[in-house]
Structure 1
Amino acid sequence: MIRYSTVDSKNKREIVLLKSSPCIWGKCSFCDYIDDNDLDINKNIYLNKTILKNVTGKYNSLEVINSGSCFELPKETLTDIKYVSTSKNIKKLFFESHWLYRNRLHEFKSLFNIPIIFKCGIESFDNDFRNTFLNKGAIFSSPQEVAKYFKSICLLVGIKGQTKDIIKRDIEYLLKYFEYGCVNVFIENSTNIKRDENLVNWFYENFSFLQNERNIEVLWNNTDFGVG
């Protein structure tokens, strides 16, 4: 497992994949990423310390990801991240959070006292596809409601059961309402969810222009950020 890397193209930053307690939701039908979490808090703290030692501050920007939400990282790890941010002159942080934590984002803003971009895995704005098929556990009424809390969202494309119209609308909302975004092309894993190759090819033919958008990142493979 690679747990430190750098993103050297858009939004240049260092990125670390840390270990945390289990995801607050942990029921998404497409996700086996949660297998990376661990109930052994001390083990997580020790491993995270070793990973954070790799941070150099070369881009003054750091993204922290884990198999769940940033709120599930140990408190000691948050202290370590704050120390690294100060000592390495980090001026911007990226964290991931489930929709269920949307009313607690201010806690991190107060703790770190530097700009934070919170990313939320929305996956799709189609409520039935998101919550019935993907079982995401994110209930909201509109993209505007999501944008009140999160500057960045993650979308998922290329799944059997998804439609072209769903993807078109999701990309439209991403470009219209959010400052940042990440589009993940689905890679089959240990779950029962299947990839739709025809849909992936269609997405590539019609939305490759997203790769030229300044703050939109397209992950054709789930390890394109260099960690995982």
Structure 2
Amino acid sequence: MDRYNKITKKFPREIVLLKAYPCKWGRCRFCDYIEDNSMHEQEIFRVNQEVLSHVTGEFGVLEVIDSASCFELPKSSLDLIKEVIDKKDIKKLFLESHWIYRHRLQEMREFFEIPILFKIGVETFDNDFRERILNKNANFQTPQQVAKYFDSPCIMVGMQGQTKEMIRKDIAFARRYFSHATINVYTNNTTCIKRDENLIKWFQEEFKSLDQNPYIEVLWQNTDFGVGD
């Protein structure tokens, strides 16, 4: 499992994949990332201490992800991140949170005392597909509702059951309402949600210009940020 990398394109930053407690929701039908969770704080601390030791502060920007939300990181790991921020002169932090924590984001801003770009895995702005098929437990109705709390949506494309029109709308909303977005091309895993190869081929042709968009990062493979397995 690769847990540290440097991202040099578009938004240059260091990125770390940390361990956390289990996702509070943990029932998304497309997600098996929760297998990286742990209930043992000592194990979490040991792994996260080693991973964070690689941070150099080269870009002044750090992205911290885990297989849940930033709110599932133990306090001991949050303290480690804060130490790195102070020692390495980190000026900006990327964090990710589930919709259920939308009213608590200010807690992280006050704790870390630097600007935070908050990501959220919306997967799609189509409420029916997101809730009925993906079981996301993020029952917002409009992108404006998301933009009220979060800076950057993570959108998934290429799942069976999605449509071209759905993807077009998702990308249009990301461009219109947010300063940053991540587009993830779906990779098959152990869940029941499967790739639609024809839809992905269409997306690659229709939206290849996104690679030149300075505000949107496209992950053609789920490990394109250099972390994960």
TM range (shorter): over 0.9
Shift of 1:211: 1.1
- Aligned pair 1:215/2:203, yes or no? no
2:191 match? 191
The one-letter amino acid paired with 1:38 is: S
Q: Note the 1:1-228 alignment, pairs <5 A.
A: 1-228=1-228
The one-letter amino acid paired with 1:112 is: F
Shift of 1:47: 1.0
Shift of 1:42: 1.3
Shift of 1:140: 0.9
Query: Deviations for 1:105-147, whole angstroms, at most 9, x for unmatched residues?
Result: 0000001111100100000010110010011110112100100
The one-letter amino acid paired with 1:58 is: E
Shift of 1:162: 0.5
Question: What is the distance in 1 between the residues matched to 2:72 and 2:170?
Answer: 28
Question: What is the distance in 1 between the residues matched to 2:84 and 2:48?
Answer: 12
Question: What is the distance in 2 between the residues matched to 1:184 and 1:29?
Answer: 16
Shift of 1:193: 1.1
SS in 2 for 1:6: strand
Segments of 4+ moved more than 3 angstroms: none
Query: Deviations for 1:168-221, whole angstroms, at most 9, x for unmatched residues?
Result: 110110000011100000000011111011100110111111111112100000
Asked whether the 8 Å contact 2:188–2:195 carries over to 1, the reply is: yes
Shift of 1:103: 0.2
Question: What is the distance in 1 between the residues matched to 2:195 and 2:39?
Answer: 31
Question: What is the distance in 1 between the residues matched to 2:36 and 2:223?
Answer: 15
**TM-score (norm. length: structure 2):** 0.99
Query: Deviations for 1:6-41, whole angstroms, at most 9, x for unmatched residues?
Result: 101110000000000000110111000111000111
Unaligned stretches of 5+ in structure 1?
A: none
Shift of 1:46: 1.4
Shift of 1:159: 0.6
Question: What is the distance in 2 between the residues matched to 1:142 and 1:6?
Answer: 33
The one-letter amino acid paired with 1:190 is: T
Question: What is the distance in 2 between the residues matched to 1:192 and 1:143?
Answer: 27
Question: What is the distance in 1 between the residues matched to 2:159 and 2:82?
Answer: 38
Shift of 1:167: 0.4
Superposition RMSD on alpha carbons, in Å?
Answer: 0.6
Residues matched between the structures, number: 228
Question: What is the distance in 2 between the residues matched to 1:148 and 1:205?
Answer: 32
Shift of 1:166: 0.5
Question: What is the distance in 1 between the residues matched to 2:29 and 2:219?
Answer: 20
Shift of 1:3: 0.5
**TM-score (norm. length: structure 1):** 0.99
